[in-house]
Amino acid sequence: MLELVRVNATVDTAAVWPKSPVEGLVMGLARTNEELEAIQRLRYKVFTEEMNAVFPDAVDGLDADRYDPWCEHVMVKEINTGRVVGTYRFLPPTNVAKAGGYYSESEFDISTLASLRSDMAEVGRSCIHADYRNGSVIMLLWSGIATLMKQQGLRYMLGCASVSLRDDGVTAAEVWRTACKMLNERPEVPRVVPRHCYPVERLNSSLPARIPPLIKGYLKLGATICGEPAWDPDFNTADFPVLLDMNRLDERYRKHFGLD
């Protein structure tokens, strides 16, 4: 297990943890190696045991990589048991160089985002326990991410949204069709280029599919898919680059997250 590094000593942890429980849950930041290990075990359970992702460096049922020590880890726990049931990681721009770059740079050429880097955090490795995929946990996690963005005065958020290819790419094709419409409507959005492009143009675009809930949620927030998907062989997914300008965050969510 990689040891947790205190990312930002100025973060007001009390402002991140809700004062009252939500359906028996509480949200906050990992502050001990034991909490980080619980997060890494949850990620392994979801990504490897459920999604059949292959992590060559995984040891003892932990999904751990070189980015983890330099990230804030937002987590949701059950109050009664302390079990971690949801998580996101947040890499602030001040730690990008220490982490060896953004994770997204391993999949995309993001040179078009150079002017945003000092004001851009990255989120990723989001997962939720199967018992809690009803919307409450993801909203708590997003609330934590929004709080970190506000506290650190950051405007842009970058991430990779994964779409499983176990349906032979039908869902990925639907997401790409939606992305193309958005990019045509917003030509000012910078485009990033996948290092290993997934060939969506070869798919049967007439087959019906639903956009995955997480990506649908990102789009409702006001995020934009800013390029073609990359192929991630470890996860067997098509990964779409997602960029959110906090100035374009949907008004309903701004109020919900207490940003106004």
Domain assignment present for 7: no
* Run means of pLDDT, 10 residues per run, the chain, 260 residues: 50 52 86 95 90 73 93 95 96 98 97 97 96 92 95 97 89 92 91 92 76 94 95 88 95 89
pLDDT value of residue 235: 80
Distance from C-alpha of 35 to C-alpha of 29, rounded to nearest angstrom = 9
CATH of the domain at 193: 3.40.630.30
Domain assignment present for 18: yes
The partner residues of 28 in beta bridges, in order of sequence, read 75
Domain assignment present for 177: yes
Domain assignment present for 208: yes
Domain assignment present for 5: no
pLDDT value of residue 204: 65
Work out how many domains the chain is built from and give that number. 1
pLDDT value of residue 166: 87
Q: Rounded to 5 degrees, what angle do the CA atoms 45, 50, 55 make? A: 65
Domain assignment present for 130: yes
pLDDT value of residue 17: 59
pLDDT value of residue 2: 54
Domain assignment present for 146: yes
**126-130 long-range CB contacts below 8 Å, 24 or more apart?**
126/87, 126/88, 126/214, 127/42, 127/43, 127/46, 127/47, 127/86, 127/87, 128/46, 128/85, 128/86, 129/42, 129/45, 129/46, 129/83, 129/84, 129/85, 129/86, 130/46, 130/50
pLDDT value of residue 207: 77
Distance from C-alpha of 81 to C-alpha of 61, rounded to nearest angstrom = 21
Tell me which residue of 172, 176, 179 sits closest to 237, measured CA to CA.
172
pLDDT value of residue 50: 82
**Whole-model pTM above 0.85?**
yes
Q: Which residues contact 167 (CB under 8 A, 6 or more apart)?
A: 209
Domain assignment present for 188: yes
- Type of residue at 106: S
pLDDT value of residue 212: 92
pLDDT value of residue 6: 52
Domain that holds residue 59: 13-256
pLDDT value of residue 66: 93
pLDDT value of residue 214: 93
Q: Which residues contact 36 (CB under 8 A, 6 or more apart)?
A: 1, 2, 3, 4, 30, 68, 73
pLDDT value of residue 9: 39
